[in-house]
Amino acid sequence: MVKVNKDFIKTLFSIEGKVAIVTGATGALGSAVAKGYGYQGAKVLMTGRNEDKLRELQQEFSAEGIDCAYVAGDPAVAADVAKIVEGAVAKYGEINILCACHGLNAPKGILEQTIEEWQKLISADLKSVYVMCKAVAEQMVKQGKGGKIVITSSARSKRGMKGYTGYCAAKGGVDIMSQAMACDLGQHGINVNTFNPTVFRSDLTEWMFHDENVHQNFLKRLPIGRLGEPEDFVGIATFLASDASNFFTAGNYAADGGYLGN
């Protein structure tokens, strides 16, 4: 007899009723994930450094029936992160999902980049992930119900690129750190995974969609035939936050239109 639980399969990808923290919620990817989670019935605590933008998103999402709140803060600052975690627990009682969508890039080659500029990228893209994940993991362990930690990394973690010495180093660190965190947290029922996009539409990359030379050059390396849109990543962010990924941990999953395979 095939051993497949019908009720489990029917709710395999559901995150309804779960409490999710989404960092970088004011960015293109973070706002798409936050709204996507909300549409699926999750309770969403959004965070970022721009409180005015967070307030606008909370009003927009609430008008569509999404149960959401926000706490402004810098994910690299432990005191801010403590405030974020405390805010989520105070509002919703627990934390089941962390989806880290924050990040920073300022391309510059090693000969031009100062040590301070390099360190700023490491802090924004690597240290911040550690600080945020540590605080959330401690809360999840306290709850005793497990949880899902989903981290946005980058295809740049796997391949270097001119001018990306800081960003590549940080994202490469995120990938291997997430694997180590998964080893630390598996005994507590906490899954830790990354997904790794290549270029997708945002305020910073919009020009790439309109510069024909740059656009066509990227497309040569993308078997899927187009650059990404923020909503392209809601699916994998949901999969890694749902019961469908219960046996998936310590993974770095390409979400790049085939870039790394080409």
167 tagged catalytic = yes
Structure-token pair, residue 61: 């999402």
Question: CB pairs under 8 A, 24+ apart, for 61-67?
Answer: 61/34, 61/35, 64/38, 64/39, 66/35, 66/38, 66/39, 67/38, 67/43
12 and 243 in contact (C-beta within 8 Å)?
yes
Phi, then psi, of 49 in degrees rounded to 5: -90, -15
- Residue of 70, 164, 167, 259 marked catalytic: 167
Annotated catalytic residues are: 167
